[in-house]
Structure 1
């Protein structure tokens, strides 16, 4: 209740200090209450399904018993981590979670690769790693079609393959791969929509910056955000949507956000598909002198966390729990080594994050205290 009260106080304060200088209205308070009630009603729930319509299992279903841990250790297995791209907080936390659990289970990590979101680089990474004959591979495809043939080679070699969030095309769970572990990306999109609406007082014009790729998890966020705004907040109008393909996601987002702000002078907010594009939107807002712009996004990266802590630009986001996802991925792969039949789709609920709980959320997401610069940025 204290967190909710603090969040309500924050919403009222920001509304009172908006660029128009108008005081918070009864509509603002009503929207804030509506958003808070919606967020409370979905807390801990999985709203989305897997790419093939699968119902989500929970991480608890992947956990290993003490006896199973001992059996895994006795195998002296090896593993490879093949990422789509690295260097951001989400990928770093994913790898940290995986390596922590691999170490606990006595599994040696023989390779960790970063494709920089380039399918041809990832195909090369997969083939190079496969030559080292790992027992386990955990990976997220940069492109589900362009990488499919390479992943099929992994399956044919008998490697226990676990996907992160997105699967390669033409592969069958239980046959070609063990499982896919995901955040509830649909839920994250819903969360960010409610937080955006709360910050806007339920009205205004907004733009969307989405991921222009055949990428299931980012499509889920985009669709969930749009549908929630349309269904629950009809006075918020989406006036423009622009896709970005990367790999310079921050730079591309800054370019399209700058164009949106120029074209739509009454734009009140912009949603970014994850934290790195949101950084580009922040840069565009600052360059345009639009410090009143409301930005909502997904994923608790450090730069957007600092902005939230300062009460600047970023009003809220739906956070994944990448460290926990990493642990679950390893447990599923290890269970498969023992011949266990694992659930084909596992998801972890979205975590709503805004100014009031950003420091606590950091600890939940990354399993460590918020860094000093984030803590010192927090505006009470």
Structure 2
């Protein structure tokens, strides 16, 4: 499947309120993949119904009001070491620039909750009007975000929200791709590349992180329900921060202990890079690798007929643009 087609497999959405019914899945992976873009499969962290990002807009009059505010924004990332994060940041900065909003800080917590708490406290010293962020841990970071909101910052989240937070009260909105749909898509891509049969391994994210858990749950459920001749014979979690290195070790151990493995699923592109290295080290040029996220290195590998045979990607630049526009909603007190 072409990359530009895969980019459309997960609809960008806002997690705001009940859910769409998932479509009936087919055992023909090509047909299942063709059907995926017609439905959003994810709900928000608290079961919220998604709304289309296309519903977010600012009029010329509203943009003029925002520009006159001369607002300041901080971008507080969970982890900036992948192409997804960088695309989000670029989308945010581009749209903020159009809105006359100055980005005063961009931080990287390296997936460490204590570092993110410190980052929030540091940027609040600069009195931002807006914070756009993705919590590394919904529980451990909640108090810091609560303090930031109390200090006057309008909060917009990527993918996940802190525990106990209510949309429209504690934060403006949360913007996410259809990560459950991404997991479903990768299951069908894996089945398609394997011809519907074979032993596989899964490399998942061993953390309390909403969107990566969605992907993992989706790929397991989809394989179990649709492909009885594909067996998950090994699963290993990785915690980072060296996600490529951890995944290389995990995949290498899988291939040694389970030589029957024909394919490995990776939760995003950086771990997939580690799986590529493990395949090369173990002489497994026949291994099929499928992952969520469109990173440059895995895309190049797939384009060059490497072991990466499928990707299901979000639209992170557009996600960043939408988050910046929603920050404008916050400044205007627009629902």
Which one of the candidate residues 85, 89, 99 is aligned to 1:95?
A: 89
Tell me the CA shift for residue 158 of structure 1: 2.5
- State how 1:1-380 maps to structure 2 within 5 Å: 34-341=28-335
Alignment partners' CA distance in 1, 2:63 and 2:188: 41
Q: Give the greater-gyration-radius structure (CA).
A: 1
Unaligned regions of 5+ residues in structure 2, if any?
Answer: 7-25
Alignment partners' CA distance in 2, 1:334 and 1:95: 16
Give structure 1 regions of 4+ aligned residues with deviation exceeding 4 angstroms: none
Alignment partners' CA distance in 2, 1:205 and 1:266: 6
Contact 1:207 1:267 in 2 (8 A): yes
Unaligned regions of 5+ residues in structure 1, if any?
Answer: 8-31, 342-380
Greater Cα offset, 265-274 or 68-77: 68-77
* Matched position secondary structure for 2:28: helix
Tell me the CA shift for residue 119 of structure 1: 1.2
Q: CA RMSD in A?
A: 1.7
* Matched position secondary structure for 1:312: coil
* Matched position secondary structure for 1:325: helix
Alignment partners' CA distance in 1, 2:92 and 2:195: 40
Count of equivalent residues: 315
Alignment partners' CA distance in 2, 1:157 and 1:183: 29
* Matched position secondary structure for 2:224: helix
Alignment partners' CA distance in 2, 1:33 and 1:168: 37
Q: TM-score, normalised by structure 2?
A: 0.91
Alignment partners' CA distance in 1, 2:138 and 2:48: 18
Contact 1:181 1:329 in 2 (8 A): yes
Tell me the CA shift for residue 130 of structure 1: 0.7
Tell me the CA shift for residue 68 of structure 1: 1.3
List per-residue Cα deviations over 1:93-139 (Å, max 9, x = no partner).
00000000000000011111111111111111100101111111000
Tell me the CA shift for residue 44 of structure 1: 4.4
* Matched position secondary structure for 1:57: strand
Tell me the CA shift for residue 197 of structure 1: 0.3
Q: TM-score, normalised by structure 1?
A: 0.81
List per-residue Cα deviations over 1:317-353 (Å, max 9, x = no partner).
1101100000000111101211111xxxxxxxxxxxx
Tell me the CA shift for residue 87 of structure 1: 3.1
Tell me the CA shift for residue 67 of structure 1: 1.7
* Matched position secondary structure for 2:139: coil
Contact 2:172 2:329 in 1 (8 A): no
